Structure 1
Amino acid sequence: MTITTNKVNVEEQAIRAKKAGKTLSLLTTEEKNEALLTLADILDQEYETILKANEEDLKNGREKGYEAAFIDRLTLTKERIEDFAQGLREVAELDDPTGITNSDWTLDNGLNVKQVTVPLGVIGMIYEARPNVTVDATGLALKSGNAIVLKGGSSAIISNQAIVDVIHQGLEQTKIPKDAVQFIASTDREATQQLFTMKEHIDVLIPRGGGSLIQAVVNNATVPVLETGVGNCHLYIDAEADVQKALAILVNAKLDRPAVCNAIETTIIHQHWLDKNKDALIDTLQKNNIHVHGDSTITEIIPSAVPAEETDWANEYLCSDIAIKTVANVSEAVQHIETYGTKHSEAIVTENKETAEKFMKLVDAAALYHNASTRFTDGSALGFGAEIGISTQKLHARGPMGLKALTTIKYIMHGDGQIR
């Protein structure tokens, strides 16, 4: 396994990916599906190789003092690798998003016009300490007919290289050329910078990770970017919220996996609901060891709460900490979300349908929930099989990006000598 700190020829890798993509675009749905199933099987077979590599990354991470949430995202287990493989099998079962005729018409002069879906081409994927992205992104790219150039973070580079080595082993048994999956095995930052500007070889960049990574790509890339977002997600508990629903959703959305982007970081509570249910709220927070950063109202009733500072309302804690804000009405809740939210996932708990509808219309976010946890903002949970990221922008794709988000359109005209 070769990992280098030196400059690698990223352009050469991108060229190979583009060439392989031409072959990939000619394959049938059945051939692509067979390849994904082959990759799933070999991941299951070679899990020990991947886990051994992951142990090296984990050892390095602990020596560098990585936080627990970071280590959690980095950690692989046999079960997690089995989940990767199962994700590929689920993607194989999904409809092929390419070659679909969206519309078909014939002009008065007899020229036939079709709008059809086609792959984006070559995807540049830049991500941090999530080895699962290597598999998810590869599976979605290949199923949608795209080649992919992967640039993972240095903290998971040994794990990612091992995963790609296994993927290449599998692809050698299929009709998809292994060059369709490229991994930049370098910790050199210039390698990442190269991806930003290779418009002639890379068709789109998708950054997935923390805010600094995403902004670095958005601000510096000349290649088109499908922007994914960090998750400063909110739960608003309305005056007419059911107590059991509200508390169950709060615990799930905060603690199911605190380190992921669809976990809530702030709970906004209507003052009337708080007055009636503060004992139940305090009991739930204490039982679940949730550490509170609260406004003055909250710190008065929860002795263990610390006063929230301005940075707390914008903070993505990625742990069991939470900020709690009290408001007088739904409009104040919406305004708080507008000020500090990241347009990712927002939820309201209320039995008042009109209030829920107002919240849904006014809040600008990729995913909105009424009486449900934000943890469902996930490609697998929503039936996409897997996701390549969660887009918080508005052009082309928004929310969990599955297969359809990795396609564009092409107009196909058939004539019989027509001229204009």
Structure 2
Amino acid sequence: MSNPPPPESSSLRHFPLFWRFWFARVCLTSGFQVLTVAIGWQVYSLTHSALDLGLVGLLQFVPRVLLVLVTGTVADRYDRRRIVAVSMAVQALVAALLLMGSRHWGFATSRELIFALSVLIGVCRAFDMPTMQALLPNVVPPQLLAPAIAAAASANEAATILAPALGGFLYAIGAAFTYGLDLAIYLIGMVLVATLNARRSESVREKPSFDSLLVGVRFIWSRPDVLGAISLDLFAVLLGGATALLPIYAGEILHTGPWGLGLLRSAPAVGALAMSAWLMRYPVRHRVGYVMFAAVAVFGLATIVFGLSEHFALSLCALVVLGASDMISVVIRSTFIQLETPDEMRGRVSAVNSLFIGASNQLGEFESGITAAAFGTVPAVVLGGVGTLVVVGLWMRWFPALAQRDTLQRTR
């Protein structure tokens, strides 16, 4: 088993193993993003229901809640590479089934089938998200973890820029092309991660018990700054997220087709990728609490602008700003967790963190669908942005130490 380069190396360029991990993460995220675009447009084409769009997000989120304690323990006890590889293999199977349904090879894709496969996708994401997060510290040494987290986040954003746009363009030609692309992406990623020559983590030796399952929850609860950062992101994106409603904006407000939906889904990642590149070169070193709260406030304002916009270019710009501001919170939160968590606990802590991420994304999509069905699409998005600003004000009052925190890692 190869070891990482010596500590005196100060650049990720000296770590080819990291870039293999980076490409595997690109495949993992790309596969999910292509599926999201295709499923979202197909559900809306079948039902024209904002509530059904929200239900897709809810069905993907529920398995994360039910499995959060189990997935973390699995990530700490077993080979993390194999866990991710199996998850990607199952998601490749989902893409294959949707490909068959789109071509009417024995059956046709239905609303109920998409809902059932959304649950299966949620189960896979419940395992692969925390496991992939916990795997990163096994690839790079601690002194490069902060820039590695920003670089790994850039993998997500690079995939989120290209994959939805490409998936949307291909869907305009035919759904089978989109699902075929998705199948290929997952198979390539599965091979990359399965053959990743990373250091093995220290496996948990204790027998599984309810007490050991709660380690991740207790760890986060015992660190107010980490709890505040995670919960701030949870409620801000939960209220301000409007991604579930993008098919409605593309079809009825901005009057574009699936290609426009792909660009809208890619736009936040453009801003996030640019911000992650900036943070790789110029990481936030001081006044991190203030920077994070300011970024979340900008996220809320960008959500309001997007909600009110009736011009495609302005909507894209608002989503770019939204993605850039969100990336700041992502990097700060992730660095908190990875720097302060022992390796033998990373799976369980990452599982809890991924639950918060899933809640802010998938549960946020359900919340958007519910509010849009009740009040209308535009009011739902605008109210969500206003709610994000309210959350920022409340969290600055409830977590004053986080707001005043100067550095990412306290001096021990």
**TM tier, smaller:** under 0.3
Q: Which structure has the highest helix share of the two?
A: 2
Q: TM-score when scaled to structure 2?
A: 0.22
With a CA cutoff of 8 Å and minimum separation of 6, indicate the structure with the bigger relative contact order.
2
Which structure has the larger Rg over C-alpha atoms? 1
Q: TM-score when scaled to structure 1?
A: 0.21
